[in-house]
């Protein structure tokens, strides 16, 4: 841990300690890191006697429903009694799906792109996951208060954001955190709880997505799509798209994989994954989105053809790095 981060966390801690009410919030379509960060931080704050609320506009996806306290997460932004709002694992407040409240906001995150809200924002792009930053804060605040429940929440974020320790963002910080968290409680079952409880509807969507695979740019770009109607026709919900883009990027020779998902009629949410040749956070930023170098996203309005051609138009400028 470098000195700069240490002093950053001290300033952040002073601000947190001085607040009586702290709302913890993350992005729409929350992933494991968003859920783990919100729940872990929320439970810690509650335990040390703060007034706190956990907020996720889309609630907790079923993949993470095994975590304790998921029923306490609210899907409305009610900041009554709150002195500040902590935005976790999201590059900007708009990603929460709510308007920014009239409260001081601090951002704790590891995304490369985004907005800053306070001098105490803790944005460390080398952190394996946002839960790793939460863990650093909790350790300095009161290490003894990190209990089994909190450890499981944080481990879930770590496991999923590193894609089960597959990606380079895992080393060696992620392994140190995994060691620490697994010394507090047993976490061996979490991988199976997250990844081996898929609903049949996931596979119905996956079959459609695989049938629609399209290759461009010397077969180094692969994309597929899920239409709005696919959800009702297969009985799938938004959570069932999770992991489909991994199949696209897992193809040999493919350097960038994209899933265009129409959650809302006429709005295509792009899940973009890469293997290191192109900085996808920067590419997606050109389309109003952001994320990480190898995992990013954005939204494009219009028909499928329009969304695809808009993406290809931007991609064309990056294709020289393939
Ligand atoms: P996913 O494909 O799993 O939805 O997102 C991949 C990564 O990109 C995540 O870290 C997510 O937070 C980020 N991301 C996805 N969509 C957007 C977006 O529209 N704007 C920004 N700033 N980040 C996004
Ligand atoms: Mn994350």
How far is the centre of ligand 2, averaged over its atoms, from the C-alpha of 306 (Å)? 29
pTM over 0.85: yes
pLDDT at 1 over 70: no
* Contact present, 28 and 97 (Cβ < 8 Å): yes
Centroid of ligand 2 to alpha carbon of 32 (angstroms): 8
Average pLDDT of the chain to the nearest whole number: 96
Q: State the pLDDT confidence band at 188, using cuts at 50, 70 and 90.
A: very high
In the prediction, which pLDDT does 304 show? Answer: 98
Supply the pLDDT for residue 112.
87
pLDDT at 74 over 90: yes
d(CA 33, CA 174): 13
322 CB-near residues (< 8 Å, 6+ apart): 217, 218, 220, 221, 255, 256, 277, 278
pLDDT > 90 fraction of the chain, expressed in percent and rounded: 95
φ and ψ at residue 272, rounded to 5 degrees: -120, 130
Confidence of residue 3 (pLDDT cuts 50, 70, 90): confident
Residue 81 CA, ligand 2 centroid: distance in Å: 28
- Please check the confidence at residue 130 and state whether its pLDDT lies above 70: yes
Residue 253 CB neighbour total at 10 angstroms: 10
Expressed in angstroms and rounded, the spacing between residue 290 Cα and the centre of ligand 1 is 6
Pocket of ligand 1, candidates 226, 279, 291: which has the most ligand atoms within 8 Å of its Cβ, to mutate?
291
The finding on whether 61 has its CB within 6 A of some atom of ligand 1 is no
Q: What is the per-residue burial (b if ≥16 Cβ within 10 Å, else e) of 289-316?
A: bbbbbbbbbbbbeeebeebbebbeeebe
Ligand nearest to the backbone CA of 158:
2
Ligand 2 centroid–CA 90 distance in Å is: 8
Q: What is the pLDDT of residues 232-269, one digit of tens each?
A: 999 999 999 999 999 999 999 999 999 999 999 999 99
Contact (CB, 8 A) for 295 and 273:
yes
Tell how far CA 277 is from the center of its chain: 22
271 lines ligand 1 (CB under 6 A): yes
Percent of the chain at pLDDT > 70 equals 99
Which run of H or E residues covers position 27?
Answer: none
241 lines ligand 1 (CB under 6 A): no
Which pLDDT score is estimated for 170?
76
Q: Tell me the average pLDDT across 124-153.
A: 97
Number of Cβ within 10 Å of residue 17's Cβ equals 10
Q: 3-state class of 287 per DSSP?
A: coil
pLDDT (0 to 100) of residue 163: 93
User: How many angstroms separate the CA atoms of 284 and 293, rounded?
Assistant: 10
Domains along the sequence of the chain with CATH = 3-194 (3.90.1640.10), 200-321 (3.10.310.30)
Atom of ligand 1 nearest to the CA of 285: 22
pLDDT at position 167: 84
Q: What is the mean pLDDT of residues 170-177?
A: 92
The preferred substitution site among 285, 296, 300 for testing ligand 1, maximizing ligand atoms within 8 Å of CB, is 296
SS3 320: helix
110 CA to centre of ligand 1 in angstroms: 12
Atom 7 of ligand 1: nearest residue by CA position:
296
Indicate the burial class of 287 (C-beta count within 10 angstroms; 0-12, 13-18, 19 or more).
buried
Task: Provide the b/e sequence for 207-221 (b: ≥16 CB within 10 Å).
Answer: ebbeebeeebbeebb
């Amino acid at each position: 841990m470098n000195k700069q981060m240490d002093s950053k966390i001290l300033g952040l801690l002073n601000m947190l300690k001085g607040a009586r009410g702290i709302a913890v919030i993350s992005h729409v379509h929350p992933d494991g890191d968003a859920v783990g960060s919100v729940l872990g931080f929320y439970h810690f704050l509650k335990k040390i006697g703060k007034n706190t609320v956990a907020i996720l506009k889309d609630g907790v996806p079923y993949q993470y429903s095994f975590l304790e306290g998921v029923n306490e997460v609210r899907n409305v932004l009610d900041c009554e009694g709150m002195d500040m709002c902590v935005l976790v694992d999201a590059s900007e407040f708009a990603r929460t799906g709510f308007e920014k409240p009239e409260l001081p906001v601090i951002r704790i995150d590891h995304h490369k792109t985004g907005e800053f809200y306070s001098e105490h924002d803790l944005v460390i792009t080398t952190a394996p996951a946002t839960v790793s930053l939460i863990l650093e804060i909790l350790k300095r605040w009161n290490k003894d208060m990190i209990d089994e429940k909190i450890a499981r929440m944080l481990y879930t974020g770590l496991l999923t954001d590193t894609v089960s320790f597959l990606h380079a963002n895992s080393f060696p910080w992620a392994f140190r955190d995994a060691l620490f968290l697994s010394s507090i409680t047993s976490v061996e079952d979490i991988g199976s709880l997250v990844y081996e409880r898929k609903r049949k509807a996931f596979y119905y969507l996956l079959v459609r997505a695989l049938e629609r695979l399209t290759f461009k740019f010397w077969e180094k770009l692969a994309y597929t799509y899920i239409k709005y109607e696919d959800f009702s026709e297969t009985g799938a919900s938004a959570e069932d798209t999770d992991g489909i883009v991994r199949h696209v990027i897992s193809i040999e020779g493919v350097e960038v994989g994209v899933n265009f998902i129409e959650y809302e009629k006429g709005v295509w949410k792009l899940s973009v994954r890469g293997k290191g040749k192109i900085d996808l956070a920067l590419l997606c930023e050109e389309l109003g989105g952001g994320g990480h170098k190898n995992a990013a996203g954005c939204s494009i309005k219009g028909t499928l053809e329009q969304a695809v051609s808009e993406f290809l138009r931007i991609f064309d400028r990056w294709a020289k790095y393939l």
